[in-house]
Structure 1
Amino acid sequence: MRSMEGGMTLLEVLLAMVVVAVGLFAAAALQVRALQATDSARHDAQAALLKHTQLERSRAADARKVQR
């Protein structure tokens, strides 16, 4: 008679590895999306800062014209 050991079968181990791999790939994809969003936000902030700087320079130039 065979004894019942509490070990895992090869199929269970492979299935667990597949589940872990899918989780890791999902986490990696999420990290890539976060990096893309961060880069996009940085570009938007730089564009807004540039526009604000140009607007302030224009206002300063107009103020100098009025003072003359």
Structure 2
Amino acid sequence: MHTKHRGMTLLEVLLAVVVVAVGMFAAAAIQLQALQAADSARRDGQAVMATHSERERGRR
């Protein structure tokens, strides 16, 4: 009953590091897109509020 314990090979470790790195880059790209979308929505909201304010001034 001899069990052979083997560690991970260097290739397996490098592959795991590559997989983790790709995942982190993908998460960073999604975060960047979310920040850009939030900024765009903020600017659109400000434009709508400015337009609404100008229309209200014109009614008086």
- Identity of paired residues, percent? 64
Partner secondary structure for residue 8 of structure 1: coil
Distance 1:7 1:23 in 2: 24
User: Which residue in the other structure is 2:52 paired with?
Assistant: 52
- Code of the residue aligned with 1:56 in structure 2: it is E
Q: CA deviation at 1:6?
A: 2.9
Q: C-alpha root-mean-square deviation of aligned residues, in Å? A: 1.2
User: Which residue in the other structure is 2:9 paired with?
Assistant: 9
Partner secondary structure for residue 4 of structure 2: coil
Superposed counterparts of 1:24-39, under 5 Å: 24-39=24-39
Unaligned runs of 5+ in 1: 61-68
> TM-score by structure 1 length?
0.81
Unaligned runs of 5+ in 2: none
| Structure exhibiting the larger radius of gyration computed from Cα positions | 1
Q: CA deviation at 1:21?
A: 0.1
Partner secondary structure for residue 16 of structure 2: helix
Distance 2:9 2:56 in 1: 70
Distance 1:21 1:4 in 2: 31
